[in-house]
Structure formats: structure tokens, C-alpha cells
Structure 1
Amino acid sequence: MLTSFFNKIISQFISDREDKADMDSKTKTLLLNITNFLFFITVLAQGIISLIHENLILAAPLLILAIAFSINYYFSSRDEQDLRFQNVFLLILGLTFCFFIITGGSTGLDGYWSIFFPLLTITISGRKRGSYWALALFAFIIVYFILPIQPTGWMNTYTLEQKLFLSSSFILAFFVGYTFQFIRSEVFLEKDRQILESENQNRAQESLINKLSYQIRTPLNNITGILEMLENSVMSDQQRDYINTIHASTNNLVDVVNNLVFSSKTFSHDPENITSFNLYTTLNNTIRLFSAKPAHSRTRFNLSLSADIPTSITGNSIKIKQIFLNLINSILKNNDQSSKFITIEVSRLDSMPGKVELQFRIVTNMVVPTDKTRSDEGFYNHNDLVRINHSRIIDLLDLGITLKIVESEGRTFSILCDEEKTVFEFSSSFTEGQQSNSESRDQHKENTLQTHDKPGIDLKNANILLAEDNISNQQIIILYIKNAVKKIDVAFNGKEALEKFGHTKYDLVLMDIQMPIMDGLKATQKIREIEQSTNSHTPIIAVTANAFPEDKERCLATGMDDYISKPFQPDELLQLIKKHLS
């Protein structure tokens, strides 16, 4: 009970503005505010005692107090406390201690308060600057003690023993403060080193998963394609049962790879991801990914958007889809109820012209176990317990990436739990009436096509160039489209594809991304440069195992017309080819 009481008192010295600051900033702010408070109490007591004894000279600290706290209030009310504030505050504090040393204060022993000055300066300003401030006050003490000054009625008299005690105590306090700050700095350096190592490990893990995804997707694409063809052939019932079993297992493996890649990737503020999209369609398509699965047939989905949300908004649709994929997947995985429901409510928070501030609320009948009784409640205050419990729920539901995505925009991700339901809430900003980067590219391509006035080409009469370095992949793609396409040329790398494009007229190019000598992105850029001089345009479709959202955006940014990631079904590729030929 007593510990909790003191925790509440100490927590009052950290403002809400510092709640999300790093530990070093919190420590400095806490020490500064506590120092201010103790300084206020000490000087106020000195002033009151001096006024009672009608000693106007000793009442001067009241004036110093007013100046110090005026400056403190001005700078602490701003968003950041800069170096000027620290210097002014330490100067006033040092002058106050000088005043106490000279006068002795109301008790005659108040000069001994100065031994705390090195601890405060080194802690607040760091070892280097703090040491300068402490040594400046120590120099004043030595000079004052050495100079043959005759004490007057308002000046304090020190014996030799008192001078030695104050000087040695000041030196000891200086070394204690310096040692404390040295150890503290080493701790923070070690923490920063661990964070850097963790970030490097995360990047290495993402790179490894990216490579594994690329290597797994290529054979998966071949397997799913062959299975699709086998299912359309004549087989016995037993053979068809075997094929269906293999196909189902392969689809499960595809889902595993997709979830692995998706969950390992953190959201990036790539401006290429900013597009104009329909929010209802985006959320509805995300829901359909789950509602279409038999395992979730007993789950009831509800989607509600307020009427004041524009039909088309501009923002990062990939981010929103990633958040809801993670959330819905986590809810379905952790909800033990026999009959489940997930309600998604979206409302607009403001009506500012051109800006769309949306509040997302996801309600489900999932019950999340929370630790309401803790043996260390006395150590934590209420806000600490809320944050700890929130972190445990995030970890339990595996929503760490979702939390990072929301917080990357400077927003708060809230989870409210009770005995009947769980509510997830977050907000996000969008704009309306603006053209996105991808729309600009699409508009440019549309204008280019209109300028060329290129007539549609029948699939069976098309001449297609396939740029692919892997022979097995070449054979599979050719197997997919050979019955529908008249002529297919093959290039083993981007350089060869560029050479063939310069000698032969192709109606469409299927371009792999990772190839030796010249990759697909560079080859596409070169092709577009050639077309600028000939005033022509040939559709280029990226066919790749790179499955991250930014991979698609990078392909489109280099001039490709479309993108399909492995594994895919033969019909998907044929439909995509037909789309760009027509």
C-alpha cells in the first residue's frame, strides 16, 4: 500500500507528453522535475524562515525561486526542453547554492546543500557539461575559502574543519555522480547495441525468408500447374482421389508460405504504395478470403461503414489489408467459441475538407484471458499495469506486427477485453480527391495506348517473348499457354530478351525478375527507352516468385504493365495475357 502510494507520487513528475519517450529522456525529465520540486520546497522554507526573522537579505531566494520557476514553466510547457533551459536552470541553481554557502542560510548549515550540485549537473547535463558546472561551483568554494574575507553580519563563518568537510564532501559527490553517469551511459550503450543487433537479425531473417519464399514458390508453381492439368485429364476415381489429396496439401503449403512471408514483413512508408481505392471493396475482399474457407463457415462477418465516408479515398490500401488480415487471422485462431462473429465498424472522426480521418472498430466474441491479480501490484502503478497487460495480449494474439504498423503512423492500437467480447480499435488518415502515384502511371499508360491506338490481338495469333533463366520454369509456362498461343520465343536473361526485342516484333513479354547478366527490371527500363524513340508500347507482365507488396510496386514503377506472383494457376496467367492483348 505504501509502495503504491509513493509510486503514484513519483509518477506525477512525468507528464503525459513524456509517456512514449525513451527511458533516457524519461529519467532526465523525472530528475529535473523532482529537483525543481525539492529546490522549490527548500528555497520556500528558507524564504519563509527569513521573513519570520525579518532578514530581508536571506529572503532573496524567494526572488530566485520566482525567476527559476518562471523559466522552468516556460520551457517545460514546450514540446522539447532545449539546452538553453538546462543552462539557465543550472546557473540559477548554482547561484542559489553560492548564496547559501556565503550566508549559511537560515540555519547556518545550508551551504552543505551544495554537495548535491555535482550529482544533479552530471545527471541532467551529462558527464562532460555536468562536470564543467560542478567544477565551476567547486572553484567558487575554494576561492571563497582561501580569500581573506572578513565576515559581516549576514555572512557565515566557517571553521577549518567545516571548510575541509565541505570541500572533501563536494569532491566525493562529484566522483559518485560521475561514476553513476558513466555506468548509466554504458547501460544505455549496451541497450542500443542490443537493439541494433536485434534490427540486424530481423533484417537478416526477412532476407532469409524472402530467399526461401522465392525458392519454394518456383517448384510450388510447377506442382500446382501440373496438378491443374492432371485434374482436367481422364483418370480413374482412385487416381482422381490421389490427385485431389495432393492438390489440397499443395494449397495448404501455399497458404503457409503466404502467411510466413506476410507475417515476417513489416510495413514500409513507400510512397509507391499510396493509391486511390474503395475502402468497402478492400475490406469486403479481405473478409471473403476467410469466409470462403469451409473451416470458417460458422463464423459470421459483419461490415458497416458510416455514410459520410467517401467512395474513393487515397492512402495505403496494402497497410489496411495487412492489418485486417493479421487481425482476422488472429481472432479466428484464438476464438474458442463454437459460433463466432466478427463485426467491423468504420466511422469518420472529422469533416475537414480533403482529409478523411477514420476510426476502425473490430468487435468479436473472443474472450482473451487477462491477468487481473498480480503479486507485484505494489511495484507498478495503474498505467504500468495497463501497458503490461496490453503487451501480454499483443504477444498472446501474435499481433506485434499489427501494433508496429499502426504505431508507424503515430496512432494507438487499443484492445478492450471483458468476459463476453474483445474490441480492437485504431485510427488512420486518408485523403480524398487526389490522384495517386499508381493512378498517374496508369493514366500515363492509358494515354500512351490511346495515342498508339493499338488494336486488340487474338490470343491464338499472339507472338509472346518469355524471359526466364530456369529451364523447368520455361517448360511449365510454355506448357500452360502453348495450346492457346501461336508463337513463344524464349530468352535466358534480360540481355538476351533485350536483343530479341530489338530484332522481332512481340505482342507481349512475360518477364522474370531475378535473372543473370541483366535482371527483368533493368531489361524493362531498356525496352521502354527503345519504345520512346519508336512511339510504341508492348505490354510487359512480371512473372516472378517475389511476393512482397513492394515487389509489385517496384515492377510497376519500372514500366511493367502487370504482375503475377508464383504460384498461380494456368487460367490466371492466360486471363492476364488476354487482358493486355485486348
Structure 2
Amino acid sequence: MVTLPLRFTSSMSHDIRTPMNAIVGMTTLALANLDNTDKLEDYLYKISVSSQHLLSLINDILDMSQIEQSKIHLNLQAIRIEELLGNISSIMTTQAESMGLCFNIETGVFRHSRFTGDALRIKQILINLLSNAFKFTLEGGTVTFRIEELGAENGERVRYRFTVQDTGIGISDKLLSRLFEPFNRSEKVSKVEGTGLGLSITKGLVDLMGGTIQVESKQEQGTKFEVELEFDALLEQEQQPRNVHVEVESGDLSGYHFLLVEDNEINSEILGELLQMWGATFTLVCNGLQAVNEFNQSEPETYDAIFMDIQMPVMNGYEATREIRKLAHPDAASIPIFAMTANAFAQDVRNALEAGMNAHISKPVEMDLLYSTVSKYLKKKTDPPQD
């Protein structure tokens, strides 16, 4: 008879292979790009992140019995949601590409971006769900990872909803009813590695954190998991130094033209380079009054969105946004306006929304978050009519 530790080790095969795939793949890429310092540094960072996750999985193998007996203790620490998501992106994006899958990350506006929780356990929950979605989605399919902040009843708490949705093979009603029991797996995918402990571990960790997990699935149409977790919120520390690395999404903003309102030369250079990297163009003005005048004098549909700094001379970003929204210009009410500011407290987010802005993007700029936020509000470009 196979002992539980051996069965458990076998069942964790696909979970272990996820970071191992990133480590092996990134090592191969690093060796092929030894003369490219920038790429080499990026690959080494991703190897480090994946190695840390692999270590956490090995530790989970050793303390599985403690999870079942509710003896495991959470290691609470300060976490920034953008950094957490960046780490997950670094691990999962490479695997998605190697499997021929379309991997989308969608985020809303975070009123609270810092909280206390167990980062390794949260990542384990989310990576388990993403790994399963990848495993049961055929090449060419899509996996979407969506993160939203929900309203918590206690103002000192923060609640997030994490959604993992795929276009995969789906789950039968028979299996769905016992999905979170140990050692369950679909008989339709016998060639796929793993014996079904991942979701049981995930459910145990979600319960341990006082959260909820729900699943919806239809065979041949896909599966959606929703996890809701609540934590103690932490106040933002303005201009807190951060060494955060995230995957730069390979986005396409070709054909879009933006109005960039920024009085700091370095900040405008950073954002301008990012927009150009994604194929966009922009017009730069240095204060809120110039922004109002430039927009008011522009032809309809000249600008697709406005990036608005807040603390500027002559007229600040809040005032400029209110003035733009009051203009008779055809695009005044509908053009997306994004706050781009180092003011990252919850009240700053509320102030931006109350002034008429669509979203708040804090500095330092998280590049993947910037792209996903902006893309959500842009109108799709249509091809010009053929002669």
C-alpha cells in the first residue's frame, strides 16, 4: 500500500513542475543571452522568484499533515498587492507561452494596496488554480486572471476577489460535487500529470485564512474559480522606496494618441518611453491649465485618453479634470482620464474619482498594471475603409 507522504509527493508533480519549468526555461534563455545585460538580469530575477516558490512547495510537502490537522500557522507580513501579482505573473507567463495559451491579467482600482497576510500561502492558492487552468486548457485557449477589491464591512480590513477563468475542457457534475476532496482528478485527462491534491490543499489554505472559494464549470466550455480573502489593511506610506519588478506586458497601443500632463521632466520621460514602447504617441503639457486649453482647442477624437498628474503649478490635476468635464467639447464627458500621482493613500484614490477621473495609477508606475488599466478604458481602433 502506498503511504500518504509518497502519494502526496506524486500528486504534487504538476505543482512542482510549474516553477521548475520557469527555472529551466529562463536558465536556457539566460545562457543564450550572456551578452545582453538587461535580458540576463530579467531572466535571473525570474529564476529567483520561481526558486522561492519551489522552496515554498517543498515546505508544503513537509507540513501537509499540519494543514489537515489545522496546526499550520500563517506567517503574517506586510504585502503590496501589485508586487504579489507581479511575482505571479513572472512565474506563470513563461509557462503560458510554452503551452500556447493566451494568459490575460485584469485588475481593477485598488483603494488599499497594502495589507498583512502570508504571501507564500496566497501565492500557493493562486498558482495552484492557475496551474490547473493551464493544465486543462488546450493549446490556443485562454486563461484569465482577474483581481478586484471588494468593499469590506470593517473599514480597517481589505477584501479581494481573485478569479481564475479558462476556456478549457470543464468539469463533470459528478467530479464537481467532490472537487475539493483529496486525490480527485478527471478520467478524461489521464495523460495530465498530478493526482488531485492541489485543490484540496488550496481549499484548506482558503479555509485557514477565513476566505471562500467557489467554482462554476461546464464541460467543453471552461471553468471559473473565485476566491475571496480578507486581510487587515495597511496605510500607504507616501514615496516609500520600493524595488518592485513586474512583467512588462507585451501590449499594443498602436494608433492611440494621449495627452500627457506632467510637470516633472523625468516622470514625463518615463511615461513617454512606455507609451512609445507600446506603439502610442503623445502630446506633453506641463500644468493643468495648459491641459484644459490644449484639450479644448483640439479636434474631436484627437486624444484617446489623458494621463493627469495631480500636484502641478498653476492648476492641479483635480481642478483640471473638473474643468475638462465641464467643457462643451464633444469628448469632454467621455474621454478617459487617469490620475498619475505619487499620492497613493485611499483618500487620494477617492479624490481622483470624485474629480471625474476614471482610475488612479500610483507612482512608481507598475508597468503591467498601467497597461491593463489603460487598455480597459480605450475604444477599439477600427481599420480605415478600403478604397
Q: Which has the higher contact order (CA 8 A, sep 6+)?
A: 2
Q: Which has the higher helix share?
A: 1
TM-score by length of 2: 0.39
Higher strand proportion (structure 1 or 2): 2
Please report the TM-score for the alignment, with normalisation by the length of structure 1.
Answer: 0.27
Q: Which has the larger radius of gyration?
A: 1
